[in-house]
Chain A
């Protein structure tokens, strides 16, 4: 059978089984085992088990449950409620101020945790009712939360960056540092969009009446709420940048920070620890099983020799190296609509990365582009995770259709941010070259 036909069959059957609702991990594993059998025979499966052992032995991966655990504890610690009160007092007087404040809190939470779900769920619970009550346009409000949640994967720490580092061999610490400026750029662009839109269309996000804005004393007292988050950010990022801790160790520092925050907030109970531990296990197990299956996938993939086929195909893309980059971005954007980021990463990176290095591009820079795409993927219909997290916490009057429509302008804004990082790679590469 020709390699073209094999590839078509391989990806075709992946797609069919995914759409039939079989969990991603089992589709990847099952389809790969069948194709491995036909190319390398029965004994090739030994590889599947031995690769599993290899993943169990990766110290970098230990960071994943720790960062998840930290996020789960912080979510329960009630840090976000106080932050929201602070944003309310400081930004309430501005048109669109509550939405801007929401984006700001999401960014701060993103700098504490590496998952997009945490910020979406907490802000959906706290900020959304507050905005709707004060006459905010619902699409403006929903979109702000959706977009805000995504910052968590680009602003370090980030689980996706850990996986990217693991698959490509680039330094996770460098990826973390490289994400800071592009993350701030996107936060800035989204804020700008809200501010401009609400300035010209005050009905989208009216300013609060004077009596709700609080006085200066109240405002300054509310600033205390940022102390704990900043402490956590310093413990995690600070320990990596200062070279005190590896990304995995910084994750343990983050858990410590989260526990301290919970104690200060008087929210640390055995129940919080227990439920956080269970939710951490669920998410970690989900990621790890996809990862195990993806090892079988990459083995099957290279056994079939599809790598050379894809590189060959890439040569036919018009526009040279930049055409290739734009093509890859388009592929990632569309995959982001239908697949989850971990899956996309494990399927595409073994194909894309050799091409990227061959073309002479910086894998750190490409990693940031990749992560921005995943960030967008978290909120693009029909399957963006943030959409479902948000649907889980909104009042019944808000339909999935409202949520789908709300992300359109925010997606456009983030694509502009992506284009800027494509055009000016220094946004991603300058900071790591300075500090590391």
Chain B
């Protein structure tokens, strides 16, 4: 059991770290787009690469936090009926409905991998004027899917243990994020 807890903690820790790092990507996106506006109007010389780089950074930013968000139940749900049930019933319902989550994430991971492999076969570039490599961004699709999938497995394990009546250690039982909700 201790090994299982350690694994669950490790996954949660990984996603938390990914989330914290990803959050700062908004700053380069902001500076890149602002730089584009200023270069266009102050110097009359739009750069070919600022918007495209901002775009690539944004793409990674948008997908990577799926797992981080799942740690603290940040994916919006309708809990008006759900929250009325006792804790164990709730966990049982979550175990059953998680089938949907795993079907979706499984499909996304499987085809995310094939999309990324296809792109890496040719070390794909964007074919724009700047022509940066885009395979690293595509590679992030299966990575992001895997991170969310792992966090989903942690949630499933927690629910199964709750249904079985095992009392979870306090740090694993907690579901609220240290940061407040948006």
Mark A residues whose CB is within 8 Å of B: 17-27, 29-34, 45-46, 48-50, 52-53, 55-57, 59, 61-62, 65-66, 68-69, 72, 117, 239, 244-245, 248-249, 251-253, 255-256, 273-275, 277-286, 288-290, 292-293, 296, 338-340, 343, 382-383
Contacts and interface: CB of A to CB of B under 8 A. Distances in A.
Contacts of A382: 80
A17 to B, nearest CB: 6
Interface of B: 19-20, 22-24, 26-27, 29-30, 33-34, 36-37, 41, 51, 54-55, 58-66, 68-69, 73-83, 90, 93-94, 96-105, 107-108, 110-112, 114-115, 137-138, 141, 177, 179-182
A263 B36 CA distance: 23
28 contacts: A19-B81, A21-B77, A21-B83, A21-B90, A21-B97, A23-B77, A26-B100, A30-B99, A30-B100, A30-B102, A31-B100, A45-B108, A49-B114, A49-B141, A53-B59, A56-B62, A62-B33, A66-B26, A69-B26, A244-B41, A251-B33, A252-B30, A282-B179, A282-B181, A286-B74, A288-B63, A292-B63, A292-B108
Given A20-B97, A249-B37, 14 more contacts: A17-B97, A19-B78, A20-B93, A26-B101, A49-B111, A52-B108, A56-B63, A57-B55, A66-B29, A66-B33, A281-B65, A282-B68, A282-B69, A286-B182
A54 B60 CA distance: 12
A46 B111 contact: yes
Contacts of A289: 66, 69, 75
Given A33-B104, A66-B26, A21 B94 contact: yes
Q: Which 6 pairs between the two chains have the least Cβ-Cβ distance?
A: A30-B100, A21-B82, A56-B59, A29-B104, A23-B75, A285-B65
Contact of B37 (A21, A50, A252): A252
A61 B62 contact: yes
A45 B77 contact: no
Contacts of A61: 58, 62
A43 to B, nearest CB: 9
Nearest to A50: B115
A34 B108 contact: no
Tell which of B22, B26, B74 has the most Cβ of chain A within 10 Å: B26
Contact of A278 (B23, B75, B101, B108): B23
Nearest to A279: B182
Contacts of B79: 21
A279 B29 CA distance: 16
A252 B34 contact: yes
Contact of A340 (B19, B76, B102, B108): B76
Contact of B61 (A27, A48, A117, A281): A281
Given A21-B94, A253-B37, A48 B107 contact: yes
Contact of A244 (B37, B77, B108): B37
B108 A29 contact: yes
Contacts of A274: 23
A59 B115 contact: no
Majority secondary structure, B binding face: helix
Contacts of A62: 29, 33, 54-55, 58
Nearest to B104: A29
Contacts of B102: 30
Given A21-B78, A24-B75, A383-B80, A55 B24 contact: no
A280 B77 contact: no
Tell me which of A25, A72, A278 has the highest count of chain B C-beta atoms within 10 A of its own C-beta: A278
Given A26-B75, A30-B103, A56-B137, A48 B111 contact: yes
A320 B50 CA distance: 50
Q: Determine which residue in A45, A49, A251, A273 has the highest number of CB atoms from chain B within 10 A of its CB, and name it.
A: A49
Given A52-B108, A282-B69, A286-B69, A249 B93 contact: no
Contact of B26 (A17, A18, A281, A293): A281
A317 B166 CA distance: 55
A251 B60 CA distance: 19
A256 to B, nearest CB: 6
Contacts of B97: 17, 20-22
Contacts of A256: 34
B40 to A, nearest CB: 9
B101 A45 contact: no
A8 to B, nearest CB: 18
A73 to B, nearest CB: 11
A27 B100 contact: yes
Nearest to B97: A22
Nearest to A66: B30
B22 A281 contact: yes
B147 to A, nearest CB: 11
Contacts of B110: 45
Nearest to B27: A277
